[in-house]
Structure 1
């Protein structure tokens, strides 16, 4: 399935460490496309593993993480305003 993941981590004394961990985990599974936004294709198992790992670091009372799911990338329309930097365009 095609995944778009985005997150907001609160900037406080522990926020930098949380952000670093969430970024590294997300980058292992998905393509980093913009600041705190990642996208890519994952199996159900890989998505489950990603969520399990992220759950260990997200502070439920301070941070936010959103995962959009679609059957395939072709069911999602991308529209760019400003610089078009489609980092996944090199995948065939």
Structure 2
């Protein structure tokens, strides 16, 4: 499945949330991530995020698409480079 994840967390937890999300998805903007993943990996990502979040203050929104084919992305302005843009 293709996933878009957006978070809004208190400043002291931003670094931890960023590290967790980068392990599973591509970082596309400050608190926005996207990428292909499995149900199992998405569950692991959510569990890791839940372990650091304050559910009374922080929020995470996850948009799920069955495949990337049903998703269209339009960008205006500067596109941040993703790890997929680098040759390994």
- Structure 2 unmatched runs, 5+: none
Spell out the pairing of 1:3-18 with structure 2 (5 A cutoff). Answer: 3-10=3-10, 15-16=11-12, 18=13
Normalising by structure 2, we get a TM-score of: 0.86
- Structure 1 unmatched runs, 5+: none
Spell out the pairing of 1:32-47 with structure 2 (5 A cutoff). Answer: 32-47=27-42
User: 1:26 and 2:12 equivalent?
Assistant: no
Structure 2 partner of 1:2:
2
Normalising by structure 1, we get a TM-score of: 0.83
Alignment CA distance shift 1:74-1:86 (3 Å):
farther
RMSD: 1.9
| Matched residues, number | 86
